[in-house]
Structure 1
Amino acid sequence: MHYIIPKSTDSLRDVNKLCKNFDVHNVNKLIALPKDANVPLKTGGGFGKTTHFGYHSGYNEAAIGAMKVAARFKPNVGRCKKLAVVQGALKKQLQAGGQTMYGNAYPNGTGGVEKDWMNTVSNHVRGK
């Protein structure tokens, strides 16, 4: 299982700034991801196509950055709603697959992974 919003200390600090009631361990905040491309894919709301095989600093940094940006956008939107939008963007891409979480699997390294995930969140937010 993968935490859509990372459960690192840095991430949880930003989560609590946005939404005190957010439960990172809630089943709706998790997604089942395959370890590699050879694992048969399952479909549905709780499953994704993005491979997950260990720590992913680029993804984590992008999620933290997205939460910081979310705190500043659309002042008329509640803080918990802002966090939900970030989580929705991450979840949608995790379900779709095709975007790595790992710098060693990306030509531009961890920084490129972080940038791609931030762009994913930004594009999703623009649609909200």
Structure 2
Amino acid sequence: MSGYNTKQRRALLAFLGEHPDELLTARQMADALAEKQISLSAVYRNLAQLEAEEKVRRSAKSGSHEAFYQYLDAKGCKGALHMSCVKCGKTFHMADSNAALFAKHLAQSEQFTLDAADTILYGTCSDCKGK
């Protein structure tokens, strides 16, 4: 069920589609969409519906009390194992072959089945490592 296709929903989906590899707060989205007259409450309302539809994922970052959201309905994001930099916040897709090896290793050595579509690995990206 996609709910109502309101102006706010279309604007939020367009914005999320332009930022599929980022973890963003509702406030960041509302600030970016302010010129389109979309309120913070409208962003939260739409994010709740999109989360129920499994089009966005809500997560938390270590050391933060805020919820972060990532758009999952973009091409290339579905089923991808994500890695997020704790310094700059950029999110990357793990190469499919590496994700498959990682999942296989977990299954064999830990008897654990990884749900790649619902997993984010946190660490430091190569750009931030030297900073």
Q: Would you say same fold, with TM above 0.5? A: no
TM-score (norm 2): 0.26
Q: Name the one with the larger helix percent.
A: 1
Larger radius of gyration: 2
Q: Name the one with the larger strand percent.
A: 2
Q: Report which structure shows greater RCO (CA 8 Å, sep ≥6).
A: 1
TM-score (norm 1): 0.27
